[in-house]
Structure 1
Amino acid sequence: MTVPVRYYCPYCGAIVTLEREPSMADKSVTRDPLSGWEYAHAYEEFEEADGVEIVCGASETDGEGCGEVFYLNFVNFEAGEELDPPTPLRPEDAPNFDFRT
């Protein structure tokens, strides 16, 4: 049995609906993929993946979207411990070491 689950695009706020198993545990929705996670496309079987790559505005988006790619990340375990990978910095959030002023 699957249920519709809705997510917001982190870029424009459009709503995306995925049909999925209710027992799957969400970790986060991010603009960038998590390090070490393997992603399936929203139109593929994604129950065995670590997450889903979603294109805002594709058929799973309710209404229009912005066309940006974002990621739904599922809870992932290794040796019984939940993995918490580092989230990569976006270029605008990265430190600036340009001391020439």
Structure 2
Amino acid sequence: MTDTETVTVRYTCPHCGVVTSVERPPDLADRSVTKRTQPGWEYATPDDAFERREAADGLEFICGEDGPVTDLEGESVEGCGRPFYLNFVRYEKGVELEPEPPTYGGPRFDFRT
């Protein structure tokens, strides 16, 4: 981890609804959490170096294997073991790229201080 300020951000598994937490910079550029990868996007894992994670197009989580998971109230539970993906906002030549397929309903985040 670097000396960069971070916050704990929680992401909900779209398969089973449990929550995974990861340290991220406070100036997030998150777009969505999906069950599938976006074509052509490169994903880091939560265990990758901080700089690698933030330089990727998103993060790949394995529910329950990438650190402890909880229910929405914060009680420890087991994850389902399936992958899910956090997709960052991406730009190409200054134009924001839309995910493929598009995501509807907005990202699912739970910020706690």
With normalisation by structure 1, the TM-score equals: 0.81
Alignment partner of 2:11 out of 3, 7, 26: 7
Runs ≥4 in structure 1, deviation > 4 angstroms?
A: none
Q: Which residue of 1 aligns with 2:96?
A: 82
> 1:60/1:41 Cα in 2 relative to 1: closer, same or farther (>3 Å)?
farther
Aligned residues: 88
Distance 1:6 1:25 in 2: 14
Distance 2:42 2:80 in 1: 24
Q: Percent identity?
A: 51
Can you give the 5+ residue segments of structure 2 that lack an aligned partner in the other structure? Answer: 71-76, 103-113
Distance 1:85 1:2 in 2: 26
Does residue 32 of structure 2 align to residue 28 of structure 1? yes
- RMSD value over aligned CA atoms? 1.4
Q: Which has the larger Rg?
A: 1
* Residue deviations 1:40-91 (CA, integer Å, cap 9, x gap): 0111130110000001012142331000000000000011110113229xxx
> Matched residue of 1:33: which SS?
coil
Distance 2:100 2:58 in 1: 15
Q: Which residue of 2 aligns with 1:61?
A: 69
With normalisation by structure 2, the TM-score equals: 0.73
